Amino acid sequence: MIDGAGSTQPGGNPVQTVYTGTTSQQWSITDAGGNVFTIANRVTGLVLDSGGDVGSGSRLKLWNDNGSPNLRRQFLVA
């Protein structure tokens, strides 16, 4: 489970944790068009940001949605 961990400012790091049902663990997935989506924390509205790091184990951060490709996600079905 990804938790916003109380991060209320851009640049904060979400954490992986056990599900407790708190609102900081709730996320909204929004269609951004072109088969890409944003994932925003329901408490802060900040979106998951890869910061351009795409390697396995790269840290995520939270950021304001400014249209950057780093803030977009694509879901693939294998």
pLDDT along the chain (78 residues), means of 10: 87 92 94 94 92 74 92 89
- Which domains does the chain possess? 2-71 (2.80.10.50)
What is the pTM (predicted TM-score) of this model? 0.85
Quick one: three-class SS letters along the chain? CEECCCCCCCCCCCEECCCCCCHHHCEEEEEEECCEEEEEECCCCCEEECCCCCCCCCCCEEECCCCCHHHCECCCCC
- CA distance to 22, 33, 35, 66, 75, per residue, from 78 (Å): 31, 21, 16, 30, 10
Given this model, what pLDDT does residue 53 score? 66
